[in-house]
Amino acid sequence: DVQMTQSPSSLSASVGDRVSITCRAGQSVYNYLNWYQQKPGKAPKLLILAASTLHSGVPSRFSGSGSGTDFTLTISSLQPDDFATYYCQQSYYSPPTFGQGTTVEIK
């Protein structure tokens, strides 16, 4: 299975901050990399697919970049609704695998 490693595992930030989360794949997944947001007790929500394509309805403050093995999710100006756990997921190799998650907490 392709291992996906996110960093950091958690971070504290303030409303208005620019936040970046990194995801590294154990081997190249080209641009087959997706990002999800999950809040406690809720299902994940798709934010970004194919590394940089914003899913329908997702605010433009979210963006994704990268290809191959290194990817980044950026929130340009953190909003109160963005405090959550974020997961990356590769969809190139079977089985699809997720990173361990990055929790964004209020500073």
Partner 1 sequence: QVQLVQSGAEVKKPGASVKVSCKASGYTFTDYYIHWVRQAPGQGLEWMGCFNPKKGDIQYRQKFQGRVTMTGDTSDSTAYMELSRLNSDDTAVYFCSRGRSQLLPGDQWGQGTLVTVSS
Q: Which residues bind partner 1 (CB under 8 A)?
A: 32, 34, 36, 38, 42-46, 49, 55-56, 87, 89, 91-101
Asked if the bond preceding 8 is cis, omega within 30° of 0, the reply is yes
Amino acid at 28: S
Could you tell me which of 44, 72, 47, 71 has the C-alpha nearest to residue 59?
47
- Whichever of 17 and 58 has its CB closer to partner 1, that residue is 58
- When the beta carbons of 14 and 94 are compared against partner 1, the nearer one is 94
Alpha carbon distances (Å) from 30 to 35, 97, 100 = 15, 14, 20
Q: Which is nearer to partner 1, 26 or 101 (CB)?
A: 101
Residue 9 CB, nearest distance to partner 1 (Å)? 11
